[in-house]
Chains A and B, each alone.
Chain A
């Protein structure tokens, strides 16, 4: 690990301000992703601003009938929260499908959203990777890319975003609340937070330097059932190959793109009266697999079809 200095932030505004003051400063919440990468020197922050204890861990109803979830709330706290379990079960299920209890006890909402890809070439500093070292090439392009994206990839990067939680939040039409170093606040649709790779895969989100996520806001739950399904190489404690979140008529896919993928084509087809299988076939017409990950097409089709049926069964 490279040397760095450390401070505990006093308030969200102070944290954002401090981040703009020091070049190379980063926020740290649970540390479960950042420290993993710092040990490998893939991340080399010069200064850490600890936001894990800021008073932004509350989970509370909104006047509109939704729910606001503080960015420092742990994944465990969100998954176990009575309102989340009762009204947004897809969110609880998605979180519980990720990592291990120990990791979820530490991982925060903000850190989970901004976790970096688990592409094996990104993790291996001896390999080219445009995300880690812009311009060096993409090791995964012609490499072992079984887990590569099937939607929204580019010649520069074919990695996926691997958060389970973000897939449920995308289906639930969540918004991300932030504060900037200037003190300005804004609210971003979750589906706009992450960028597709294009020719700048190292620019991962629309956040400006020093912009702190303070909360995630959920609108009132949709009419209809909810379900989350994930396929991985072992039954627990493993990153996904594909996942799907259903919330009423809204649908998001995980581990198929560099962001949680709203299946807008499938949603439209469902609204027009298509069967779940037909709707998924329509969505997957837009997919571009790369050989080793061809299996994701039938996998996602079957997984999402099953999840839509499951949600419909619950919503009835």
Chain B
């Protein structure tokens, strides 16, 4: 099935079996292997990408459902010589060990910052209140990204640093 998705700013036209997930379209068809397949069932967050600016699990979505959408994967966030502030912060804070979850953590951070900016509540937000940028809020909002190496304290520190730098 013919599907056109703008991936990291470039329109890509693919002829896909409808069974192809967005994650497999990125990894197997476009050879963008940054987004990882940890569980393939929405349970780990390693496949997190931004679709029209919103973070989702690419493993639980069909590519054909994204015809016409704009997708940003880790490859579109920054490059080795032009790192995004969130990537710099992850390096500075040593926010990973093996790095397997990191592309998902970074894309998820970008989604989190946009959601906070838009005032979206989480279960840590007091009823009716505007969410604040606290450690509890960051941990709750990043709970969809599992880190098997347990770099969580450093990931929270990196998100704090990135938010300060981007403010």
Query: Which residues of chain A have a CB within 8 Å of any CB of chain B?
Result: 1, 3-6, 8, 28, 30-32, 35-36, 39, 48, 50, 52, 76, 79-80, 85-86, 89, 92-93, 96-97, 99-103, 105-106, 235-237, 314
Contacts and interface: CB of A to CB of B under 8 A. Distances in A.
28 contacts: A1-B19, A6-B1, A6-B62, A30-B61, A31-B61, A35-B62, A36-B60, A39-B40, A48-B62, A76-B115, A80-B120, A80-B121, A85-B127, A86-B128, A89-B128, A92-B127, A96-B125, A100-B144, A100-B145, A101-B115, A102-B45, A102-B55, A102-B144, A103-B60, A103-B144, A106-B57, A236-B123, A236-B143
A210 to B, nearest CB: 20
Given A101-B108, A103-B144, A237-B144, 17 more contacts: A3-B18, A6-B64, A30-B61, A32-B57, A36-B41, A85-B127, A96-B121, A96-B123, A99-B42, A100-B42, A100-B145, A101-B115, A102-B144, A105-B55, A235-B140, A235-B143, A236-B139
* Main SS at interface, chain B: loop
A255 to B, nearest CB: 17
B56 A105 contact: yes
B21 interface: yes
Nearest to B142: A101
Contacts of B21: 35
B65 interface: yes
Contacts of B56: 102, 105-106
Contact of A101 (B19, B55, B67, B128): B55
B87 interface: no
B64 A106 contact: no
